[in-house]
Amino acid sequence: MANVGDNASTRLEDVLLIPQSISDINWEEIDLKTSFLNKTLSLPIIINAITGGTKRAARINAKLAKIAKNYNIPMAVGSQTIAIEIPELADTFTIARQENPAGVIIANISAFTKSDSMLKAIDMIEADAIQIHFNIPQELAMLEGDRNFKGVIKNVRELVDNSPVPVIAKEVGFGFSKEAIELLYNAGVRFFDISGAGGTNFIAIEDARQGMFAGSFNSWGIPTAWSLVEALSLEIPICVISSGGIRTALDITKSLALGANYVGMANWFLQLVLNNTDEEVANKLDNLIYCLKASLLMCGAKNIFELQKKPVIILGQTKDYLQARGIDTSLWSARN
């Protein structure tokens, strides 16, 4: 293996669920409900941070917010920094709240943002939680990107101390290591969106634009399956969101079976609203839900709680990597 995440995969293909021929379950009993921030959600899926700041972004946020409302799932908006700097752009984000007044809406800012700006981001959309994103590789792949990352843990501690809503530490596609999670946990963070490698790749995107890395870092990052297990192996009381390359019902089921509380999907939802009519959007989402229920039933589980009691086998590169990281995966069973 040349690099961590070499093959630009989530490595969820190394995670095996055990098919159960005997599943004493009626389809009608299958229940995908879960709760998040004391609200009941219909599905364990979060529309992850994507956009805001332009007219086109506002239209996308409006469509995403309608989905969030119709399917009773949370939605995170894209980074609000631009609207804090240029308040006239706030409506490209507030549209998400207008479309879904009672829903779970999550704000988004950089982990380096100061507390007063964080409070503006939260107020702007009456957020139920705030994602603080960590994106060093993306910044380094940009000519105009940040170069000074000193003092971030101190800043995170201040953000957590001053936030009226839960703070979610979020990667953007390079995955958190267990060391990073421990540092953030000690700074007071209890919610983690691991956003691993294998999906949207911001090094590749920025490199295609400016060539700072000349293509040499396209495989950088911790694949989603690896980062997820690293987080869960810590056995600390945290809520973990699996994201980065989540595209299918099986990706979702595997993440939940490993022990994730929720999954986040960004590009899947973006492509969904960009390329489909409202009717097609509904059909594709209904099909995703159908496949999710089918996968639970085929595993012999009628809800997420039961799924997380099922054994999961971890093989291949993922097993090797996790073993090298001191994590025993011989018979991985989600946190219980």
Ligand X SMILES: Cc1cc2nc3c(=O)[nH]c(=O)nc-3n(C[C@H](O)[C@H](O)[C@H](O)COP(=O)(O)O)c2cc1C
List residues binding ligand X (CB under 6 A). 48-51, 78-79, 108, 131, 133, 170, 172-173, 195, 199-200, 243-246, 265-268, 270
Q: Which is nearer to ligand X, 103 or 264 (CB)?
A: 264
Residue closest to ligand X, measured at CB: 199
Q: Which is nearer to ligand X, 199 or 259 (CB)?
A: 199
Q: Which is nearer to ligand X, 268 or 321 (CB)?
A: 268
- Rounded Cα distance between 220 and 137, Å, is 8
CB of 60 to ligand X, least distance (A): 9
Nearest alpha-carbon partner for 255 in 282, 224, 281: 224
* Tokens matching residue 288: 């995703």
Q: Which is nearer to ligand X, 287 or 323 (CB)?
A: 287
CB of 85 to ligand X, least distance (A): 14
Backbone angles phi, psi at 87, to 5 degrees: -55, -25
CB of 170 to ligand X, least distance (A): 5
CB of 125 to ligand X, least distance (A): 13
Q: Which is nearer to ligand X, 51 or 308 (CB)?
A: 51
Q: Which is nearer to ligand X, 318 or 329 (CB)?
A: 318
- Apex CA 13: angle with CA 11 and CA 16, to 5°? 120
CB of 271 to ligand X, least distance (A): 9
Q: Around Cβ 262, how many Cβ atoms within 10 Å? A: 24
Decide if 265 contacts 46 (C-beta within 8 A). Answer: yes
CB of 243 to ligand X, least distance (A): 5
- Apex CA 94: angle with CA 88 and CA 100, to 5°? 165
- CA 250 to chain CA centroid, Å, is 16
CB of 41 to ligand X, least distance (A): 18
Beta-strand (E) ranges in 176-222? 191-193
Q: Which is nearer to ligand X, 25 or 168 (CB)?
A: 168
- Radius of gyration, CA atoms only, the chain: 19
- Rounded Cα distance between 299 and 258, Å, is 13
- Rounded Cα distance between 147 and 145, Å, is 7
* Tokens matching residue 153: 């843990």
Q: Which is nearer to ligand X, 8 or 313 (CB)?
A: 8
CB of 330 to ligand X, least distance (A): 29
- Rounded Cα distance between 175 and 253, Å, is 19
- Rounded Cα distance between 15 and 34, Å, is 23
